[in-house]
Amino acid sequence: MKVLGIIGSKRKKGNTTILVNQALKPFIENGDTCEVIHLGSLTFEGCYGCEGCAKTNKCVLKDDMQPLYTKLREADAVILGSPTYFYNMSSDMKKFIDRCYCFCTFSDDDRSQWISEFENGKPKYAGIIAVCEQNSVDDMGYTAIAMKDAWRSLGFRNVFVQGALKAFRPGEINSQPDQVEAAYKNGVRLRETVKLARKAVKD
């Protein structure tokens, strides 16, 4: 099983990283192939909207997204994590998701009909983690919602969506053991789902 953790915070020891790593733990414990991608360490541009990918499903921008496309194609599951920046996901996470536009194919006659490349073969599963410092879900704004909707439109089934409030400084989430434990349990659920899917395909 191959799993990617994709982190949209530049704080490598921040709250998002902690929760994504927790959700990856059940996979690591079972010997699965896991990789953590810190988007802030990559050099890549935002989508140009050039439609260069329209006929090929290949993005024409040659940057650090190219190896990530291969990893996404190979992954069984992906965990996306982002801090809340002004009621939404971080700009790195947004930039990354926008660049996944190349996986989509639209009908020539009706652009309200589209599929993602990920709907063509093995089903793919995902987990969504959003973090914010304030006390109420309203202050998290669209962070979890925007990631989950975009990722679903790219053909992933979101097995869990976890929002963590009241975490400001890097590492502060560790003072909320319920959130840390929830991330681990969510990872277990995601792994079980992938296992069920693989069994169903084999049977």
Ligand X SMILES: Cc1cc2nc3c(=O)[nH]c(=O)nc-3n(C[C@H](O)[C@H](O)[C@H](O)COP(=O)(O)O)c2cc1C
Tell me how many residues contact ligand X (CB under 6 A): 19
The nearest distance, CB 132 to ligand X, in angstroms, is 3
CB closest to ligand X, residue no: 14
Asked if 41 is part of the footprint of ligand X (rule: CB under 6 A), the reply reads no
DSSP string of the chain, one letter each residue: -EEEEEE--S-TTSHHHHHHHHHHHHHHHTT-EEEEEEGGGS--PPP----TTTTTS-----STHHHHHHHHHH-SEEEEEEE-BTTB--HHHHHHHHHGGGGEEE-SS-TT-EEEGGGSSS-EEEEEEEE-SSSSHHHHTTHHHHHHHHHHHTTEEEEEEEEE-S--STTGGGG-HHHHHHHHHHHHHHHHHHHHHHHHHH-
Asked if 5 is part of the footprint of ligand X (rule: CB under 6 A), the reply reads no
Q: 91-110: which residues touch ligand X (CB under 6 A)?
A: none
Q: Please say which residue, 48 or 87, places its beta carbon nearer to ligand X.
A: 87
Q: Please say which residue, 46 or 121, places its beta carbon nearer to ligand X.
A: 46
Q: 116-155: which residues touch ligand X (CB under 6 A)?
A: 131-134, 139, 141
Binding residues vs ligand X (CB under 6 A): 9, 11, 14-16, 83-87, 131-134, 139, 141, 167-168, 170
